[in-house]
Amino acid sequence: MSSNKILFITHLAIGDFIYMQPYFKKLAKTNPDFKIDICVDESRCKPFILFKKQPKINSVIDWIKNLEYFNEIFQIPYDKKAFNQFVDNCKEEKYKKVISLGTIRSHRYNYFARQISADGFVIGIKSKQEKYNKLLNLTLRANKPNHHVTELYADWFEKIFNLKLTKEEIFPTIDIPLKWLQEIKEKFFYTKNVKSIFINSFASNAKRSWPIKNVLTLISNLNKNPLFLSSKFIINIPPENNKLVNELTEKLQKNVILFTANKNFFELPAMVANCSFVISVETSTMHIAQALKIPQIALMRSKSPDWKPYTIDENRIIFAPDNKKIKDISIEEVEKKLKDYFHE
């Protein structure tokens, strides 16, 4: 076995990787002899029976492929036969160390990791099923209550590699290729000196979404305020909601644009980077804004403080009241926060 060849197995949403990326960066920088492979599972280890076709490619893969930290990047196939072949191919790599960072259905990831490396050093997240924990040489905690998620990742990488990051190193960054910055700027930002406010009210989970009717009302209210004269409002529409584009187009005011990132991961960061301000529910957009140091208002549930944007000013977060859903955040509260910011 090659002692410097490592395989990471994980499910990665954009938010996960925004805060995990600095640790991979430091690991590669301090261990240039390491060959770091990463295997991304978009299914989060759900049973094969749920998949009739390969899921849509997760855009975070576009980002990972643009980095220099990784030797090989794999995506788990969702056909049973193809999956078995994939495992056999991984076995041939004879990894000395296999590390599973899957916190959802962690017992399945632990079993998968041991399948790949029967004799190697296998590390995984502690599950509630002890028989799968016995497959591991080292167990990691699944969460760290009352702490930001970056502190959980810090614990993982310190325990595995004795790797420690400074506060400055932990702060997330996204290096956007010039190609995407220019493309977005030419398409949407041809008018200079315009206040551009990006609004993302959609999340994959309805509990984390803010109604689109609230967004339209908010914009209508702001357009009546002198603070927002000559402002441009950009509404983010997820690719899977394309039907909504047709429904909204006739209702939009002249200074409102609909935006959908459907080509590449870097479209969304490039858009955010070109904006003056962001309003976002608790999804990847708020983390992207923080990484790019774009001022924002984050709409969150009180149950998820560990996923607030890293080092964000608490005054820039509106938590849903009394453990309710994000839809219960009032238009008036968002409007007031925005006005307060632009009065500063």
- The predicted pLDDT at position 57 comes to 52
Q: Which amino acid does the sequence have at 76?
A: I
Q: Identify whether residues 156 and 183 lie together within a single domain.
A: no
Q: Identify whether residues 260 and 306 lie together within a single domain.
A: yes
Does residue 335 surpass a pLDDT of 70? yes
Q: Identify whether residues 263 and 229 lie together within a single domain.
A: yes
Range of the domain at 290: 178-343
Q: Where does a domain end: 137, 153, 170? A: 170
Q: Give how far Cα 326 sits from Cα of 24, 146, 222, 280, 294, Å.
A: 33, 20, 21, 11, 22
Contact between 35 and 5 (Cβ < 8 Å): yes
Instruction: Report the domain count for the chain.
Output: 2
- The predicted pLDDT at position 275 comes to 96
Q: Identify whether residues 155 and 210 lie together within a single domain.
A: no
Q: Identify whether residues 230 and 328 lie together within a single domain.
A: yes
CA distance 17 to 172: 9
- Work out the average pLDDT over 331-344: 92
Supply the angle between the helices 242-249 and 212-222 in degrees, to the nearest 10.
Answer: 40
Record the pTM.
0.91
Q: Which amino acid does the sequence have at 285?
A: T
Q: Identify whether residues 159 and 188 lie together within a single domain.
A: no
Does residue 192 surpass a pLDDT of 90? no
Supply the angle between the helices 80-92 and 106-116 in degrees, to the nearest 10.
Answer: 50
CA distance 210 to 14: 20
pLDDT of 129-161, one tens digit each? 888 889 999 999 999 988 999 999 999 999 999
- The predicted pLDDT at position 301 comes to 92
Q: Identify whether residues 124 and 48 lie together within a single domain.
A: yes
Q: Identify whether residues 40 and 153 lie together within a single domain.
A: yes
Q: Which residues, other chains included, contact 311 with Cβ-Cβ below 8 Å and sequence gap of 6+?
A: 171, 290
Q: Where does a domain end: 170, 190, 214? A: 170
Choose between 205 and 22: higher pLDDT: 22
Contact between 49 and 18 (Cβ < 8 Å): no
Residue 178 tokens, joined: 């010039």
Q: Identify whether residues 112 and 191 lie together within a single domain.
A: no
Q: Identify whether residues 255 and 283 lie together within a single domain.
A: yes
Residue 125 tokens, joined: 């997240």
Q: Identify whether residues 110 and 184 lie together within a single domain.
A: no
Q: Identify whether residues 185 and 130 lie together within a single domain.
A: no
Residue 296 belongs to domain with CATH number = 3.40.50.2000
CA distance 164 to 30: 11
Residue 122 has a CB neighbour count (10 Å cut-off) of 25
Query: pLDDT confidence of 49, banded at 50, 70, 90?
Result: very low
Choose between 4 and 210: higher pLDDT: 210
Q: Where does a domain end: 135, 170, 205? A: 170
Half-sphere exposure of 195 (CA within 13 A, CB side): 14
pLDDT of 289-311, one tens digit each? 999 999 999 999 988 889 999 99
**Burial zone of 131 (CB within 10 Å; 0-12 exposed, 13-18 middle, 19+ buried):** exposed
**Burial zone of 114 (CB within 10 Å; 0-12 exposed, 13-18 middle, 19+ buried):** buried
Q: Which residue has the tokens 């072949």?
A: 85
Bridge partner list, 187: none
- Work out the average pLDDT over 205-223: 93
